[in-house]
Amino acid sequence: IAAVRKGENDLALGNVIGSNIFNSLGVIGLAGLISPAAVSADLITRDLSVALGLTIALVVFAIWPLGRGRITRIEGGLLVAAFAGYIAVLLATA
């Protein structure tokens, strides 16, 4: 948030993508090294599908010809709404 407030949008986006990659690969890989664990079907079907879908949406919003490399407030709102919906599904199925 601080990077966006300072106008460092590339830094903010790089931070989000880097954090996502590290959390997906580094943390899960380290946990697997310490103690192997089974991967539930929900992780593959629901969680990874949502992560892939939202990543594709982010890329489309960022390179869409009309956006010219910018994510508009509407697109940002759609991404936040999709995340909120995902959290709602997680809470409803927990």
Does pLDDT of 69 surpass 80? no
CA dist 58 to 39, 55, 94, Å? 26, 5, 27
What is the pLDDT averaged over residues 62-78?
Answer: 79
* 39 backbone dihedrals φ, ψ, rounded to 5°: -105, 125
3-52 tens-digit pLDDT? 778 878 778 778 888 888 898 888 888 988 999 888 888 777 888 888 88
* Predicted local distance difference test score (pLDDT) of residue 86: 92
Residues 6+ apart with CB under 8 A from 35: none
Segments making up each domain of the chain, as ranges = 1-37, 38-94
* Predicted local distance difference test score (pLDDT) of residue 83: 92
N residues, the chain:
94
User: Following CA atoms 41, 88, 62, 51 in sequence, which dihedral angle do they give, to the nearest 10 degrees?
Assistant: -10
